Structure 1
Amino acid sequence: MKTRQKDRDNPLPEAPWNEIRPGLWMGGHVRAGVTGEEPVVVRREFDLVLSLYQRSGHGPPPDIEHHFAEMPDGPLSEAQIEQVERFAVLAAEAVRAGRRTLVRCHAGHNRSGLVVAQALVDLGSSVPEAITLVRQRRSPWALHNQLFVQYLESGLPTARLLTGLGAAG
């Protein structure tokens, strides 16, 4: 499955991850470095890591709680939207419990932005507030996938149901 769109001309973030709100971080597997794309490896900085993209050798260590779900940076299936909802709940619960939580994808723009924005909604933000906060704290390029913004604006449960209806037809 192709999980990352190659047609993006957006710059990679310089930071490996950024704190979006206390305890909730958003990042990627790569970042912009002096010589180009540099790998980002998670060690023991976080209590929980939620990955929507995976690359061997990028951590976290086996004793750190880690969940992975392969996710495209494009239209999502009903099951994938359900996985986004599950990851957002895990992230919100971890933040409420005071656990340092990282949500990451390839560059830390879209897939991680979708989960983090939904977690922010679950924590009490409005959708516009969540989107704005993700873009302010991570990158102006975060959530540039307009379909993901539409999923958030319609509500993930509604987006999941509509996607399921489309697949049944």
Structure 2
Amino acid sequence: MKTRQKDRHNPPPEDPWNEIRPGLWMGGHVRAGEIPVVVGREFDLVLSLYQRAGHGPAPGVEHHFAEMPDGPLTEAQIGEVERFAGLAAEAVRAGRATLVRCHAGQNRSGLVVAQALVELGMDLTVAIALIRQRRGPGALSNQLFVQYLESGLPIARLLSDLGS
């Protein structure tokens, strides 16, 4: 399955991950220059929307993985975004350091982090602006993902398979 669109014009950020709000981090498997990012024991929970062998996290760290494209999502994939956002929000409330990551840490991870911020009580517009400020201007550049968030993930999930 092709998971990353090659037409994205935003290079990966310089940092391997950035703290978006206390306890909630957003990152990728690569950073600027396609330098690999490996997660060890820095986080209590790692939520991955893309996976590469040898990129961690270390054994014993709670890790969830759901393969997801950087493009249109199916009903089931949007359901996984909702599940991951819930896991992230719950972990942050419990004081657990949480990393949400994808390939470059911009779109798929941004979708989950934005929804987690909304679940934590933040206004969506503020959440998107905060993600772009903390992770970089290329974060959430996938306008389809922004549309999913604006319509609400439950509605987007219900509508996603109507065209197929």
- TM-score band by shorter chain is over 0.9
Q: State the match for 1:142 in structure 2.
A: 139
TM-score, normalisation: structure 1: 0.95
1:165 Cα offset (Å): 3.1
Given the alignment of the two structures, is residue 52 of structure 1 paired with residue 35 of structure 2, yes or no? no
Shift of 1:61: 1.2
2:13 maps to what in 1? 13
In structure 1, distance between residues paired with 2:123 and 2:109: 18
- Alignment map for 1:18-167 (pairs within 5 Å): 18-32=18-32, 36-167=33-164
Q: CA RMSD in A?
A: 0.7
Distance of 2:121 and 2:60 partners within structure 1? 31
Residue segments in structure 2 that go unaligned for 5+ positions in a row: none
Identity %: 82
Residues in 1 aligned to 2:163 and 2:78: alpha-carbon distance in whole angstroms: 14
Question: Gapped runs of 5+ residues in structure 1?
Answer: none
Q: Which moved more, 1:6-15 or 1:84-93?
A: 6-15
Distance 1:49 1:12 in 2: 19
**Aligned mates of 2:7, 2:163 — CA distance in 1:** 26
Instruction: Count how many residue pairs are aligned between Structure 1 and Structure 2.
Output: 164
- Secondary structure of 2:18's partner? strand
Q: CA deviation at 1:47?
A: 0.1
